[in-house]
Amino acid sequence: MMSDDSTTRSEGSSGYVSSEGSFERKSHYIPERITRDGRDGFPVEPGRYRLAVSRACPWAHRTILTRHLLGLEDAISMAVAGPVHDEDSWTFDLDPGGVDPVLGIPRLKDAYDARPEGYPDSGITVPAFVDTTTGRVVTNDFHQMVKDLVTEWGDHHAPDAPDLWPEHLRDEIEEVSDLVYADVNNGVYRCGFAGSQEAYNEAFEQLFSRLDWLSERLADQRYLVGDQLTLADVRLWPTLVRFDAAYHGHFKCNRHKLTEMPVLWAYARDLWQTWDFGSTVDLEHVKAHYYATHRDINPTGVVPLGPDTSGWTTPHGRESLR
């Protein structure tokens, strides 16, 4: 049984549910980092590292967005796993012969197994940086990876790249991001994998209370923190873009659809259009993953045909906000 979209370990009604019935995410990640000074043995070096992702996964989507916004596509190549993994690993079944053309492996687990020191019990997760010179995973700490793309890879950013983590806003960015992570990013999973009615009710109320708070915050400002795009927006948006396709029905987050929350719907469309977030999205992969792999929630594995996505390119009307 496979449940979370970043890992091949079970996160359904058994392995990741507490005795009280609440979902508990395992969060032990590989601590090594790719840095300018190479202090962990992995210096920043264009062309050396490959970013392994799935387009289904919201945690991987953060790194895809950040790489895109900073113009790092030429410096960091990307391996895209298929949306439906097996019980042990994300697989590169989208590539010819089912083998990643750069890493030369069929399964991401092969790169994890190449680590002589092993890896944490969080499992075979995406995103992950793989060192192409050794074939081993360097890190899978999605939170640190995004910040390091901003701070450690600055010499290779595009000239017009936005400053996604400006020093004068960092405390507020992290404060807002922590709230969003607990109640929204992880909150949808707490709803979907709740093992009791009480745990579901609590997660549901916290999720929509935070979405209401976000709607109020964004009613008069274009971005979550300050007057510019930041990592706070990058962290929230992958959950919003998946909301109607997966979380509303599959995870029972059904007080409202995103398209029924006017401020958040306009905000999400703004980023899709203005910053080209839309080019990083594959909702068919999203639906295939959630509905076909979470068999404890969707035993038939039937994948829905909807929702209609044409509204994403309609005018958002947020240009005048600052």
Q: Where are the domains of the chain?
A: 49-156, 167-313
Radius of gyration of the chain (CA): 19
90 assigned binding-site residue: yes
pLDDT for 23:
77
223 catalytic per annotation: no
Sheet holding 136-139, edge to edge: 77-81, 49-54, 128-131, 136-139
Q: Dihedral of CA 310/312/313/315: which sign?
A: positive
Residue of 29, 112, 119, 189 marked catalytic: 189
- The dihedral through the CA atoms of 202, 207, 213, 216 has a sign that is negative
Burial of 123 (0-12, 13-18, 19+ CB in 10 A): buried
Q: Which of 16, 29, 49, 57 is catalytic?
A: 57
Question: How far is it, in rounded angstroms, from Cα 119 to Cα 125?
Answer: 10
Residue 127, preceding peptide bond in cis (omega within 30° of 0)? yes
Q: Does domain 49-156 have CATH number 3.40.30.10?
A: yes
**Residue pair 52/90 in contact by the 8 Å Cβ criterion:** yes
pLDDT tens sequence for the chain (322 residues): 233 566 554 334 444 566 567 777 767 899 999 999 999 999 999 999 999 999 999 999 999 999 999 999 999 999 999 999 988 899 999 999 999 999 999 999 999 999 999 888 778 999 999 999 999 999 999 999 999 999 999 999 999 999 999 999 999 999 999 999 999 999 999 999 999 999 999 999 999 999 999 999 999 999 999 999 999 999 999 999 999 999 999 999 999 999 999 999 999 999 999 999 999 999 999 999 999 999 999 999 999 999 999 999 999 999 999 8
Positive or negative: CA dihedral 98, 28, 2, 203: negative
Encode 74-90: b = buried (16+ Cβ within 10 Å), e = exposed. Answer: ebbbbbbbbbbbeeebb
Q: Please give the structure tokens belonging to residue 48.
A: 């050396």
What CA–CA distance (Å, rounded) separates 69 from 71? 6
Residue 57 annotated to the active site: yes
Structure tokens at 97: 């012969």
DSSP assignment letter at 139: E
Which pLDDT score, from 0 to 100, does residue 18 have?
60
Point out which residues pair with 128 in neighbouring strands: 52
Class of domain 167-313: mainly alpha
pTM summary value: 0.94
Q: State residue 14's pLDDT score.
A: 42
Residue 196: both structure tokens together: 């009791």
